[in-house]
Amino acid sequence: MGRVIALANQKGGVGKTTTAINLAASLALNKQRVLLVDLDPQGNATVGSGVEKNRIRHSSYEMLLGRCPAAEVVVPSGTGGFDLIPTNSDLTAAEVELFGLDRREQRLAEALRTLRPVYDYILIDCPPSLNMLTLNALVAADSVLVPLQCEYYALEGLSALMQTVENIRKAVNPGLELEGLIRTMYDGRNNLANQVSEQLEAHFGDKVYRNVVPRNVRLAEAPSHGLPVVDYDPTSRGAMSYLALAAELIQRRETEALKSAHNL
């Protein structure tokens, strides 16, 4: 059964979509079956995966409203080796339309149920806000992966997100857990970045991924070519960092599985 991971952070510009695309491609390179769900009306994960968002037949919007089964929405990414549930600006309307539907916060979970056995990982790229779309993602997910920059406001936003996760765990999704924190656009020469990084490690311990994503020009260029950085420039620091993150994620999951099996 595939693990569903929501990539969430209500603060924009932290590398969330970049992480979603490149982690999906890096997991695929590690022989994992991966589905990326674009749940952001901007459609940046769709475009960055090499899919033209204005030419798609079906989108996450139709899937959420029950007009199309998830399997019919899935398309292959351009070259990333993973599958994609694409989106476009139509998804903006879903925010309003979902409020009038029954089980509105569980629409994504129900839509993905038939796809979970098909994939090892299902990654959900959430919008940069705590809205109905993000709520759907958190209800559907097994865990939350938080990309964040090591800056002052990151800690404040993280606190709000953790409170939301806790509320959802109590009310709707008791199995929801924190997958981990990924430090993005990291510059080890920056004193503030190092201080915030130390605070994260002190508070969250091993939930903070060891590997960090540095600022990297090739990583910034890749989306304009519709390519993950591992395809655009496989030797770049950005590509190496996401491959290392994917390996760390897989290792963590295997370790958890062994612990669970041992406890049984």
pLDDT tens sequence across 206-231: 999 999 999 999 999 999 999 999 99
Which helix (H) or strand (E) is 40 found in, with range?
none
Query: What is the pLDDT averaged over residues 128-157?
Result: 90
Regarding beta strands 75-76 and 83-85, do their DSSP bridges make them parallel or antiparallel, or are they unpaired? Answer: antiparallel
CATH number corresponding to 3-263: 3.40.50.300
Tell me the whole-structure pTM to 2 decimals: 0.95
For the chain, the domains span 3-263
Cα separation, 234 vs 240, whole angstroms? 7
The neighbouring-strand residues paired with 148 are: 183
Cα separation, 124 vs 145, whole angstroms? 10
Residue 250 pLDDT level (bands cut at 50, 70, 90): very high
Say which residue the tokens 């800690």 belong to. Answer: 155
| Residue 184 structure tokens | 């993005």
Residue 145 pLDDT level (bands cut at 50, 70, 90): very high
pLDDT at 71: 96
Cα separation, 210 vs 225, whole angstroms? 29
The amino acid sitting at 198 is E
Backbone angles phi, psi at 210, to 5 degrees: -65, -40
pLDDT at 65: 93
pLDDT at 264: 64
The amino acid sitting at 256 is E
In tens, the pLDDT along 174-203 reads: 999 999 999 999 988 888 889 989 989 998
Cα separation, 136 vs 156, whole angstroms? 23
pLDDT: which is higher, 206 or 151: 206
Q: Are the beta carbons of 183 and 197 closer than 8 angstroms?
A: yes
Query: What is the pLDDT averaged over residues 11-40?
Result: 95
N-to-C CA span, the chain: 18
Cα dihedral: 159, 257, 37, 109 (round 10): -80
Say which residue the tokens 């020469």 belong to. Answer: 189
